[in-house]
Each structure stands twice: as structure tokens, then as C-alpha cells.
């Protein structure tokens, strides 16, 4: 995925390992692990989850993307100034 940092394009390679809830720890047994962000678009695509993963890799981990603003996300996606 190509994101823009300070206006310069940066390619981020996103793998297929998505973060999941670990209910087995609390429940004490093995269960199905749902994705933390399993929101899909109206067409059934998971582009938001993939974008979130790319941002986490760009910012070292998911803790690095805790919070943020829409304008900042648009700047990373387009490389253009936002307000």
C-alpha cells in the first residue's frame, strides 16, 4: 500500500496477519478469534482493516495510531495538504 509521509510516497507491505480478540484467555478455552476491526464496506471489502494495518506498520505498532484525525488520515492517503 502506498502512503505519503511529509508528501513523499512510502510503500508499506501489509501481511495477512490481522489483530484479533483473544476470548480464550478470559473464557479459559479455545474459541474462534474475530478481528479487532471487522468492518467491511458495503461491497464487502476489508480495505479499512488493511489501511489500519498499514498505518500501524508505518507507526511501529497499533499503539502508535491510537486516536488521530480525519484530516491526518487523508494526508497520509493522498499526500495533499488538508484542513
pLDDT at 19: 73
Q: Are 54 and 1 in contact (CB under 8 A)?
A: yes
Classify burial at 34, counting beta carbons within 10 Å of its beta carbon; exposed 0-12, middle 13-18, buried 19 or more: exposed
Q: pLDDT in tens for each of the 83 residues of the chain?
A: 899 998 899 999 988 877 776 666 655 555 566 666 666 777 877 777 888 888 888 888 877 777 778 888 888 889 888 87
Bridge partners of residue 35, in order along the sequence: 20
Threshold 0.75, pTM exceeds = no
CA angle 46, 51, 56 (to 5 degrees): 130
User: Would you kindly state where each structural domain of the chain is located, as residue ranges?
Assistant: 2-78
pLDDT at 46: 75
Amino acid at each position: 500500500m502506498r502512503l505519503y509521509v511529509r508528501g513523499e510516497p512510502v510503500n508499506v507491505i501489509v501481511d495477512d496477519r490481522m489483530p484479533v480478540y483473544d476470548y480464550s484467555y478470559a473464557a479459559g478455552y479455545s474459541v474462534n478469534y474475530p478481528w479487532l476491526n471487522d468492518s467491511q464496506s458495503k461491497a464487502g471489502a476489508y480495505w479499512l482493516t488493511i489501511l489500519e494495518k498499514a498505518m500501524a506498520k508505518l507507526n511501529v505498532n497499533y499503539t502508535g495510531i491510537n486516536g488521530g484525525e480525519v484530516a491526518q488520515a487523508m494526508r497520509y492517503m493522498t499526500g495533499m495538504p488538508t484542513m
